[in-house]
Structure 1
Amino acid sequence: MAGAVSVSALVLLTVGCAGPGAGKAKPGASEAVTPAKPLPVKATPRPATWTDSDNKEHRLRITPTRLARGSDSDLAHIQLDDDLKGMVPYYLTFSYTNTGKKTLSQVDPARNFSVSGADGQAAEQVSLFRSNPMATGSGLPPECRESGAAELAAGATAATCRIFMLPKDQRPATVSYKDDGGDTLIWQVGGGRGGASDGVLPAGKPADGTTEDSRSRSVPLLVTPKGVRAGSRADLSRFDLDADEKKLVPYYVTMQYRNSGKYDLLPSMSDGVTLRTTGGQTVQKLTLIDIGGPGVGQCPDAVPHKMVKPGGTVTECSIHLLPKGDAPAAVVFTGEGEGAEQVTWRASVDDGK
């Protein structure tokens, strides 16, 4: 038997075996071959940074050369983990060139790649492994068998392919590379529109939510996204950010909350707000220590800054730090208490003015 490891799941292969000890292998099983459907991605080379296991940085030039939609039948010989069953495989092939002066070993930029939908939901990247050395065949779908190179001389180029799994109701909008130098590199798929999962609301549409008061009693809300704005690093200059945070770009998410319940609420609902990005990241709210200070003028914590009475409203703003090159794709509100559900909207970013 052979197997596979995903970034987030375990996958098992049942590839045929030539001798005893085949275990759960399917005797005589052959791979079903369904031509993959290529998706439009402009193969634009980008300079990138990759860090090896000794934390040494190396310069590469990376290029997504092909993204194709596979078929369920491609994975018929694979025992998928439960959370991957019913998803659609996408095959990302990319080339990478050693632009440095020394030969590199075990170059693996694949871990930095993501494929994401229009709502910023990242696909699950799956890596295959072999647990039975007697098994025949690679176990990889025919559309995704480029495996890279053990060594890469200066100026040399190699190619590799990775499998990404997305829900059937979602289509890729971006391919991204989280550069170890700090930025995010983005390639749009078919104009970047893709398709969002069911339940993703248009920007600005009010939706029901739930939170809790100071005594853990459930309080219903009406939640309305009011805007997402790009800020400036200078906006946060008086705060003690670490070196990595100083490289990031602030985005301000403004939300309005109406207390539809019977109990007073603290104006702290923004703690449940996150941003999903075009690069497939989920970014939490930035917490700043500013006791008695003026806060960030471009993003007031709460207006008015007082208890929210039943029937009252409050407008809150949260700060989210994104790598240069990345951008908001969706706003997510996660409520508190029993029965609280997550609500997701498409992000519409204004010019920050």
Structure 2
Amino acid sequence: MSCGILRSESSTDLDTNSHEYRANRQLRLICGYNCWQWLFLITAAIEVSLLTIFTALELDYLLLNPSQSSDTSFVLNIIVLVICAFSLIFLFHGVFWDKQYDITLFIVSMAILTIYIAFEFTFTIDYNSIRKLTRLSISLSMTSLMVILSRIVVHFSQEYSIIGVAPGLIVMYKNQCYFQILLKLDFLNAICFGLFNISLSINDPIPQYSVLSIIITFASIQWVTGKIAVLKEVKCCLLLFVCLSITSLLWVPLQFVFMRSCFQSTVCLSQQLLLTYSSLFSALVLVFVRILLFMQLLRAHRNFGYGLADAAFVGLVNETTRLLSRTPRRRSDI
């Protein structure tokens, strides 16, 4: 009898602790994990908001003064807004879901954004330079500050503090997470690369918006197939991902053709140079990320069959079921 009573009491205590953990978990999802995450979130949100406001003012100026602007500047500012929108998604997912690689992805996205803003300021300095210089200064200074704060946030992160899991399995899981953020970065770069090709001045048999839709469609299929291939360990999706990634890179060499046509013309306007260098930089970033993806894909493929796709491991690393995870301070007391 006593054993039954003790067993029922312990079961009740476990249920109570489980409910308390879920309540605390939901509260932490809403309020964040620590003050450093809140500081990082607020500072990053201020940066993205300021850049969005200044870019919206730039677009308004371009629409009101078409004689002093061109389609190239308009498209580049649209790309700035697209990167800001994706950066907010990376930011909230990295902070509230405690994902270290997504915080790093936010920093990388803002660094690429800073380079695009610098391109626009350099080649269109003849008009509205004060506003452009202010936007460039905000992006450069606050992104540098974000790099410092991100190191502190990652230091206090609990993403990989999983009790009872072998260190080798954690390394495999990190490689999987790294591949996932490279997929996101590749998708974002593909969208930017496609948008740059809207304002190409060379006559093509294929309409420009059709090229944009083809590039974005390829990027979407690559993202879905790559994610399924690694998370579910499906080798046929892996082969499809590699084929699509190589095929989509066939459009990249044309950026050098556009650059050559610009410099061969008698008058190469600053707006044409802005398009040429920006699209070339976008293509080079896309190629570089693809190389990293293929290198990481080899590591992820070697880890197939070691339990990363098992439901038990997925449930263990899931944020809603990590009952075994403890803070570093609590583990040091035990």
One fold, TM greater than 0.5? no
TM-score by length of 1: 0.21
Structure with more relative contact order (C-alpha pairs < 8 Å, separation 6 or more): 2
Higher share in strand: 1
TM-score by length of 2: 0.22
